[in-house]
Amino acid sequence: MTTPEPLRMPASGFVTGDSGLGHVAITSSKPAQLRGYFNTVFDARLTDYIDETISGVKLKIRFLRVNGRHHSIAIAGTQGLPIDPIRTRVQHLNIQASTLDDVAASYQRVHELGFGMALSVGQHTNDKELSYYARTPSGFEWEVGWNPVVVDESIWEPSTQQGISIWGHTPVGQTIVDKLDQFRRAARSLAATEDTVPALSGPGIPDD
């Protein structure tokens, strides 16, 4: 749908352009094949890794870039785990706000409009982005961030960080109902399958 009406946007703007629109984070039981797919189709390059424990489960998260943005794709591998305690498919989407004031104002609007908050404001270890995570009606999380590092291809070397955040990003308002729902998702994951396309992903790219 199109309209001649001018855009009315509460924020001053978002960082897109040559860097594209934020990033997408995905959980996968076949992280090597998924990384192979993004490498084959999008020429995605490894930026770094993060080792993190989420809900008592140790995950290795791969961060891939296709331009100067630190990462456009993040893949959390659940390979080898008997159950998957976190949402599969898209875990969260990210958008980069132009200013810190935009992040603060949007955080306030999330509360005023009655949307759930998943993680409080915090700063990531690898890209140094300051952000928060809200819950969408569809179940995935929406990260609004500001001021991540920009990759200099001439000097960048992949590394591994321990923990996803320097500070903050603590769970907000999690209840016993939320924990029970998490266990239900884990039980359903036992019967879940994840298909791959060998022609596009090949044997996959193992961890370097």
**Is position 206 within any domain?**
no
Distance from CA of residue 34 to its chain's centroid?
A: 15
**Is position 173 within any domain?**
yes
> What is the total count of domains within the chain?
1
Range of the domain at 62: 17-193
Please report, in angstroms and rounded to a whole number, the separation of the first and last CA atoms in the chain.
Answer: 45
Neighbouring residues of 79: CB distance < 8 A, sequence distance ≥ 6: 28, 29, 30, 31, 32
pLDDT of residue 102: 97
**Full strand arrangement of the beta sheet holding 45-54:** 160-162, 45-54, 57-65, 73-77, 23-28, 89-96, 141-146, 130-135, 117-124, 165-168
**Is position 132 within any domain?**
yes
**Is position 64 within any domain?**
yes
**Is position 6 within any domain?**
no
**Is position 10 within any domain?**
no
**Is position 208 within any domain?**
no
Q: What is the pLDDT of residues 24-78, one digit of tens each?
A: 999 888 899 999 999 999 999 999 999 988 766 778 899 999 999 999 999 998 7
**Is position 157 within any domain?**
yes
Q: What is the pLDDT of residues 128-140, one digit of tens each?
A: 999 999 999 888 8
Residue pair 61/49 in contact by the 8 Å Cβ criterion: yes
183: domain CATH number is 3.10.180.10
Q: pLDDT band at residue 80, thresholds of 50, 70 and 90? A: low
Two structure tokens written together for 196: 């791959």
Q: pLDDT band at residue 179, thresholds of 50, 70 and 90? A: low
